[in-house]
């Protein structure tokens, strides 16, 4: 059977057919991403797609099609069945995300696209993105799933079940064959939309939006309850949705999302993702409880275990699941997308004296994981030197984007809970520069570092330096020093205050070999000699550690 596909394109396909980006929409979205000109209506990803934007249509050829089973031009339940001469209705076949992607693949082929520079999508669009990367791995260079997961949670399915029940139990549903009857399951579809819309918001956003005027609802014409402001808002959302969407399509597309499953266990997901050949950017939102960040971190864990290049960032927001469509949140994650899709933009790295010292300890062809990578300056310099594998770990969206602009992967990860799930000995060096003093479990972090790396380079301020001893012993004040210990005692993020001797004792206790040790008098700009008391004279230290061979 033939399938009609409604799609829109932006930009120009290059002669090689390799600059195309496929963008996949969510459940109730469509192909209209952005304006085509000043007179056009704005699109649903206006802030992300367009000339000079993160998905830059001056450089990239962007394609977005309406999904199979939808109601915005692509074949769906409202399409005429050529056998019966009436709309398919409930006779429309069960649609899967894989079916949606297969139809997109045919469109891509017809457009002359040889390989996709990227596939990007949020929510159901994120599921399509994951499906593309695992189903057609040879066609995808970069995959960017946003607010997505390997499978939908039982709680998320439950909301969809109630929504579909509301539609299918509506007296005007007529078993899905309501076309041509003059009736439409408006009440059921509106209720489904209201319920779904609640899942797209967060508790914080609803409090901010509705609490101050909770007893002052908008005066709208509706049969639904409107005694509270949140009630009139939901009634309005339901009314607007009924005017633009088809009930059968809502049933079909939500079923496709609920049936999407890349594995119900870690082993199953490893098998599913093993085929992927792309690099990844995974984005989640802190207040999204429909597809929570934990599900994105599960994806990242699978990718890192398989050795696939991945960057990840959790955007702090109270926007909930809908954050991927909100202007402020789009502005927050746009630099990440731009960094992933653009050519690396290495600035002249602002190499600190600590980083310069670390560089001297790392051979040029070594793979490196930098824990607390900042703006990626050390990694950028290592990339210039030809390092084959580099990755940074940070918690700031801005710092992750800056690192990615160096052409280096960066992962948003809380070192307080350990390290991302890299394979053993994935890196030759793991760098912990001014990191250990801020984590709650130093031993576990060192163990993890020496699991994923053959060696760890640990940099820290020596808390037994004579200046600090004098501040405490003679002045009776909490010691302070430039760098890690420049804070006041009442606002310091530091948890640990190790001396050089403390670190050496810990290494001995853990059975860790100190291969090299460099001790520095930063004030005088010199290295402390082997015959000097480093624990007294050195302000900072660098240790190269490895696991004992026995």
154 shares its domain with 259 = yes
In a domain, 142, yes or no: yes
Q: 375: helix, coil or strand?
A: coil
Note if 434 is an active site residue. Answer: no
265 shares its domain with 366 = no
End position of a domain, from candidates 340, 372, 387: 340
285 shares its domain with 360 = no
Compute φ and ψ for 351, nearest 5 degrees. -75, 120
Give the model's pLDDT for residue 489: 81
Note if 465 is an active site residue. Answer: no
398 shares its domain with 384 = yes
Note if 396 is an active site residue. Answer: no
185 shares its domain with 297 = yes
In a domain, 221, yes or no: no
Q: Please pick, among 288, 329, 355, 412, the residue that the annotation labels catalytic.
A: 288
Query: What CATH number should be reported for the domain holding residue 382?
Result: 3.40.50.150
C-alpha span between 305 and 426 (Å, rounded): 9
Q: How many domains does the chain have?
A: 2
Q: Please pick, among 123, 202, 232, 434, the residue that the annotation labels catalytic.
A: 123
CA of residue 110 relative to chain centroid, distance: 31
In a domain, 225, yes or no: no
In a domain, 228, yes or no: no
322 shares its domain with 370 = no
End position of a domain, from candidates 319, 340, 361: 340
End position of a domain, from candidates 288, 309, 340: 340
In a domain, 399, yes or no: yes
Q: Please pick, among 321, 322, 377, 465, the residue that the annotation labels catalytic.
A: 321
In a domain, 237, yes or no: no
310 shares its domain with 372 = no
Query: What CATH number should be reported for the domain holding residue 311?
Result: 3.40.50.1820
In a domain, 222, yes or no: no
59 shares its domain with 177 = yes
146 shares its domain with 294 = yes
Give the model's pLDDT for residue 349: 57
- Give residue 466's domain range: 346-547
For the whole model, what pTM was predicted?
A: 0.93
| Cβ atoms within 10 Å, residue 203 | 11
149 shares its domain with 56 = yes
432 shares its domain with 542 = yes
C-alpha span between 320 and 329 (Å, rounded): 10
Low-confidence spans in the chain with pLDDT less than 50: none
The full DSSP string for 345-357 is: --------HHHHH
In a domain, 226, yes or no: no
């Amino acid at each position: 059977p033939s399938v009609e596909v409604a799609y829109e394109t932006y930009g120009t396909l290059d002669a090689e057919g390799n600059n195309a980006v496929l963008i996949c929409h969510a459940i109730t979205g469509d192909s209209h991403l952005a304006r085509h000109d000043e007179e056009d209506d704005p699109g649903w990803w206006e802030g992300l797609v367009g000339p000079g934007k993160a998905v830059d249509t001056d450089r990239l050829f962007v394609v977005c099609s309406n999904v199979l089973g939808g109601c915005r031009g692509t074949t769906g339940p409202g399409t005429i069945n050529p056998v019966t001469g009436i709309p398919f209705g409930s006779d429309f076949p069960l649609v899967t995300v894989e079916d949606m992607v297969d139809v997109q693949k045919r469109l891509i082929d017809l457009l002359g696209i040889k390989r996709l520079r990227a596939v990007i999508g949020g929510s159901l669009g994120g599921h399509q993105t994951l499906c593309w990367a695992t189903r057609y791995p040879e066609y995808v260079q970069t995959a960017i799933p946003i607010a997505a997961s390997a499978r939908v949670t039982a709680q998320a399915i439950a909301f969809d079940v109630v929504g579909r029940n509301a539609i299918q139990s509506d007296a005007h549903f007529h078993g899905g064959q309501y076309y041509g009857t003059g009736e439409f399951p408006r009440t059921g579809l509106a209720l489904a939309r209201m319920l779904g819309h609640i899942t797209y918001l967060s508790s914080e956003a609803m409090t901010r939006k509705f609490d101050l005027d909770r007893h002052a609802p908008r005066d709208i014409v509706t049969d639904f309850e409107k005694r509270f402001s949140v009630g009139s808002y939901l009634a309005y959302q339901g009314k607007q949705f009924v005017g633009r969407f088809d009930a059968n399509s809502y049933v079909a597309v939500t079923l496709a999302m609920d049936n999407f499953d890349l594995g119900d266990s870690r082993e199953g997901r490893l098998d599913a993702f093993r085929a992927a050949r792309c690099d990844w950017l995974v984005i989640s939102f802190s207040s999204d409880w429909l597809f929570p960040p934990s599900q994105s971190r599960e994806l990242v864990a699978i990718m890192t275990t398989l050795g696939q290049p991945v960057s990840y960032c959790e955007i702090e927001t109270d926007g909930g699941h809908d954050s991927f469509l909100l202007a402020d949140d789009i502005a927050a994650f746009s630099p990440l997308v731009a960094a992933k899709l653009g050519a690396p933009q290495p600035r002249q790295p602002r190499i600190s004296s600590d980083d310069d010292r670390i560089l001297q300890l790392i051979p040029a062809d070594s793979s490196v994981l930098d824990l607390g990578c900042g703006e990626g300056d050390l990694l950028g310099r290592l990339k210039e030197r030809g390092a084959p594998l580099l990755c940074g770990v940070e918690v700031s969206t801005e710092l992750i984007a800056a690192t990615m602009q160096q052409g280096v992967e960066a992962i948003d990860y809380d070192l307080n809970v350990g390290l991302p799930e890299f394979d053993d000995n994935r890196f030759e060096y793991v760098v912990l520069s001014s990191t250990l003093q801020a984590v709650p479990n130093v031993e576990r972090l060192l163990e993890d570092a020496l699991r994923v790396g053959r060696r760890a380079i640990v940099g820290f301020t020596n808390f037994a330096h004579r200046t600090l001893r004098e501040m405490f012993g003679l002045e009776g004040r909490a010691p302070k020093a430039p760098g890690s210990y420049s804070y006041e005692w009442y606002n310091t993020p530091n948890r640990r205050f190790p001396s050089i001797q403390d670190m050496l004792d810990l290494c001995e206790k853990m059975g860790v070999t100190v291969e090299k040790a460099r001790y520095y008098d930063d004030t005088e700009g010199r290295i402390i000699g082997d015959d000097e008391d480093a624990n007294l004279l050195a302000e900072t230290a660098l240790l190269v550690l490895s696991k004992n061979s026995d």
